[in-house]
Structure 1
Amino acid sequence: MSALRRKFGDDYQVVTTSSSGSGFHQQQASAHKKKRQRFVDKNGRCNVQHGNLGSETSRYLSDLFTTLVDLKWRWNLFIFILTYTVAWLFMASMWWVIAYMRGDLNKAHDEKYTPCVANVYNFPSAFLFFIETEATIGYGYRYITDKCPEGIILFLFQSILGSIVDAFLIGCMFIKMSQPKKRAETLMFSEHAAISMRDGKLTLMFRVGNLRNSHMVSAQIRCKLLKSRQTPEGEFLPLDQLELDVGFSTGADQLFLVSPLTICHVIDSKSPFYDLSQRSMQTEQFEIVVILEGIVETTGE
C-alpha cells in the first residue's frame, strides 16, 4: 500500500474505466460532464467517416464485390432485387423483339407456321418463356424451335449472363450472411476495467468470456491505447496508437476461452500509464480498444 500511496497519493482508490464490446473509455470525472465521443462504439463499429475523397471514390467500383458485401442489408436487398428485375425485363424484351421482327406475333395461331418460340404472341408470354428457361422450370408449352438461329444465339447469351449474375449476387449474399460479426454478440466484456494490485504489481484488468459452447480457435487478444500526443519536434498526432502489453512476451495473449478470463496489463516503466496519477487518469482523454481475434469453430470464419 505504501508503494501505491507514493504512486497515486494518499487519496488512492481503485480506478475503474467503463468498457463494453471492443473498446473502453476512462470513467467520467463528473456525472454531469458531457459524454465524450468514442473512437470505437460498444458494438465494435469505428466512428470514422472518409471525406474529401474526390476521384478516389472510383476505387470502390474497382472492387465492386467487396463494396457490395460492405453495404448495409437494405442496400444489398435493393441491388439484388433491382439487378434481377432489370436483367429479366431486358432478356424478355429481347425475346419479344425477335418474335416481333420475325412476324411471329401475327402468326401465333397459324398451325402451319413455325415460329422462333412456340406460343409466344405478346410480351407477357415472352417474359414467361424467359422465366421458364432461366429458372429451368420447363413447363413444355413454350419452347424454342430449330428454325431460329438468332434465338439459339440469344439462348446461349442468356445462359451465360444468368450464370454470371447468379454467381455474383448469390455469392455476395452468401458471404454477407456468413460473416462472423454476429458471433461477437456472444463474446462478453466486463462492464468496467479496474486498476488494482495483483501478484504485487499494479495492474489494469478486465474480463472477457464466451457465452457459446463452440470454442474460439487460436483466440488472441490485443490492446491499443488511442491518445493524442505531441512529439518533441512539435508534430501533433491526434490519434496516436500505442500497444498495451497484455502478455505478448509470455504468451498470455493466446487465449483458451472456455471460461471467463481476466486480461491483465502490468503498469510498469514501459506502460503508457506509468506517469499518470489517479486524478490525471480521470481527466486525461484516451481510449483503450481491445481486439479479440479468433476462428469460429463451427464455420471456420
Structure 2
Amino acid sequence: MFKYFRKHFTSRLAKHQRQSSRLVSKDGRCNIEFGHVEEESRFVFLVDIWTTILDLKWRYKMTIFITAFLGSWFLFGLLWYAVAYLHGDLPELGPLINHTPCVENINGLTSAFLFSLETQVTIGYGFRCVTEQCATAIFLLIFQSILGVIINSFMCGAILAKISRAKKRGKAIAFSKNAVISKRGGKLCLLIRVANLRKSLLIGSHIYGKLLKTTITPEGETIILDQVNIDFKVDAGNENLFFISPLTIYHIIDRHSPFFHMTADTLSQQDFELVVFLDGTVESTSATCQVRTSYIAEEVLWGHRFAPIVSKTKEGKYRVDFHNFSKTVEVETAHCAFCLYNEKDTKAKGKLGYDNPTFVLQEVSETNETKM
C-alpha cells in the first residue's frame, strides 16, 4: 500500500512540475522572465512609452492614469499658490484695499488646487479667474491648458487603444483541451479542434505549430527550447479559412514528423510542448491578432478521435453542440506510425505476390548415378 501511494504521489508531483514548466499556458500567456537586463536595454521601454503603456496591466494603467491627473493638478496648484504668494495676493500677507490680484479668490493652497483643477479640465465655474495684472499668470494658464490637453489625449487614447486591442478578440477562439492521434484519410495524424465563438470571421487565418523540446547537438550542445516546425492542415485549405464553424486541424505523422518515432506506450514519457498558433485579421476592426495554446505529452491522447458536434435541425439550421467540443472517443489505431506504414507496405507487397521478399531462388545441379 505504501509503495502504491508513493508511486502515485511521485507521478502526480512529476505531472505538476511538467505542467508548471510549460512555456505557453493554455490561455496563451508566455511563462518566461528576463534576468540581468542591462540598464541601457531598460531605457528602450521609456523611449517606446506608448507600447509600454499599452502592455501594462489594467491596475497599473489605472494607477498611472489617476496619478497623471492628480499629480498635474497638484503641481500646478503649487505654482498658482507660488504666483499668489509672490504677488502678495494671499489674505495673510495683508494686501491693500485697491490691490488687484493675479487670480481672483485664491486664499490658500486649497483654493489654488481647485483653480488648477478647473483650469486643466476646462470646468470654468467663473468664481476664480485670471486678471490682466500678471503676465506670469497668463503664461502659466496657457501652459497648463496645453499640457492638460496633451495628458488627456494620451491617457484617454491609451485606454481606448487597450480596450480595442485585437488581443481581446482572441478570447473568443477556443482550442480543444486535448490533442488526439488517430487515423485520418488512411494516415496517422495528430488532430486538434479549434472553434470561433463569434459569428464575425477572422480574415486570412493561418494555422501553424512549433514543437518545443530539449535536444543535444552532435557537438554536445544542449538546446533547451529547440523549435521544430509543425505543419497543420485543414481540409478546407490552409489559407483564408472559412472559420464560421469549428474546424479540426491535423498534422500528418510521416517519416519527416518529429512524432514518427513515438509510440502509444512511450508518448506519455516524452518531454515536449506543442504550441499551436492561429493568426488572422479581425473583420470588424481590420486589426491583426494571434491566438495560441499549448499541449504537453499528457494532453495528447493516442487512439482517440473527436466526437461530432455539428448537426442539422429540422428547420434547416446548423447547430454546434459545444458540450462535445473537447470530448473524445477511443478508436482502433496503430501502435505507432512505423507499424501503420509497415503494415501498408506488407499489404501492398502481398498483392504483388511477394509473400517472402527475402526468398532467393538458387539453382542446384543434381547428378543421377545409376548403379548396375
Deviation of 1:110 after TM superposition, in Å, equals 6.4
Q: Which amino acid aligns with 1:92?
A: G
* Inter-CA distance 91–124: structure 2 relative to 1 (3 Å threshold): same
Q: Report if the CA contact (8 A) 1:108-1:115 is conserved.
A: no
| Deviation of the 1:192 alpha carbon | 1.7
Deviation, 1:253, is 4.6
Indicate which of 243, 256, 267 corresponds to 1:281: 267
Inter-partner Cα distance in structure 1 for 2:14 and 2:106: 73
Matches within 5 A, 1:110-125: 112-125=98-111
Sequence identity (%): 44
Q: Which residue of 1 aligns with 2:258?
A: 272
Report deviation, 1:297: 2.0
Deviates further, 230-239 or 110-119: 110-119
Task: Give the residue type in structure 1 aligned to 2:113.
Answer: F
Cross-structure match for 2:83: 98
The reply on whether 1:71 has 2:52 as its aligned counterpart is no
Q: Per-residue CA shift, 1:27-73, capped at 9, x if unaligned?
A: xxx66743212111111101001111132323322222222222221
- 8 Å contact kept, 1:219–1:255: yes
Q: Secondary structure of the equivalent of 2:210?
A: strand
Corresponding residue for 1:137?
Answer: 123
Question: Which ranges of structure 1 fall in alignment gaps of 5 or more residues?
Answer: 1-29
Give, in whole Å, the separation in 1 of the partners of 2:80 and 2:224: 61
Q: CA deviation at 1:167?
A: 2.6
CA distance in 2, matches of 1:161, 1:174: 20
Residue 192 in 1 paired to residue 178 in 2?
yes
Q: Secondary structure at the match of 1:293?
A: strand
SS at match of 2:69: helix
Query: Aligned residue pairs: how many?
Result: 271
Instruction: Tell me which residue corresponds to 1:47.
Output: 31
TM-score with structure 1 length normalisation?
A: 0.83
Secondary structure of residue in 1 paired with 2:62: helix
Equivalent position of 2:308 in the other structure: none
Return the alpha-carbon distance in structure 2 between the equivalents of residues 185 and 136 of structure 1: 39
Partner of 1:160: 146
Quote how far apart the aligned CAs of 1:108 are. 8.9
Which of the pair has more CA radius of gyration? 2
Residue in 1 that maps onto 2:314: none
C-alpha deviation, 1:284, in angstroms:
0.8
> Residues 232 and 251 of structure 2 are in contact (CA less than 8 Å); yes or no, is this contact kept in structure 1?
yes
Which stretch of the first structure deviates more once superposed, 70-79 or 201-210? 70-79
Unaligned runs of 5+ in 2: 1-10, 288-372
Q: 1:32 to 1:236 in 2, by over 3 A?
A: closer
What amino acid is aligned across from residue 290 of structure 1 in structure 2? V
Instruction: Check the 8 A contact 1:39/1:48 in 2, yes or no.
Output: yes
Higher relative contact order (CA 8 A, sep 6+): 1
- The reply to whether residue 244 of structure 1 matches residue 224 of structure 2 is no
Quick check: 2:209–2:275 contact (8 Å CA) kept in 1?
A: yes
Residue 96 of structure 1: how far off its partner (Å): 1.0
Q: Paired residue for 1:24?
A: none
What CA distance in whole angstroms lies between the structure 2 residues aligned with 1:172 and 1:224? 33
Q: Is the 8 A contact 1:247 1:253 kept in 2?
A: no
Higher mean C-alpha deviation, range 219-228 or range 58-67: 58-67
What SS does the aligned partner of 2:174 have? strand
8 Å CA contact retained: 1:105, 1:121: yes
How far apart are 1:111 and its partner, in Å? 6.2
Paired residue type of 1:211: L
Query: Contact (CA 8 Å) 2:208, 2:276: kept in 1 or not?
Result: yes
Name segments (4+ residues, structure 1) moved above 4 Å: 30-33, 107-111
* CA distance in 2: counterparts of 1:261 and 1:289, whole angstroms: 17
Task: Work out the CA distance in 2 between the residues paired with 1:279 and 1:294.
Answer: 37
CA contact (8 A) 1:108 1:121 kept: no
Aligned position for 1:227: 213
> TM-score if structure 2 supplies the norm length?
0.68
Q: What is the CA RMSD across the aligned residues, in angstroms?
A: 2.1
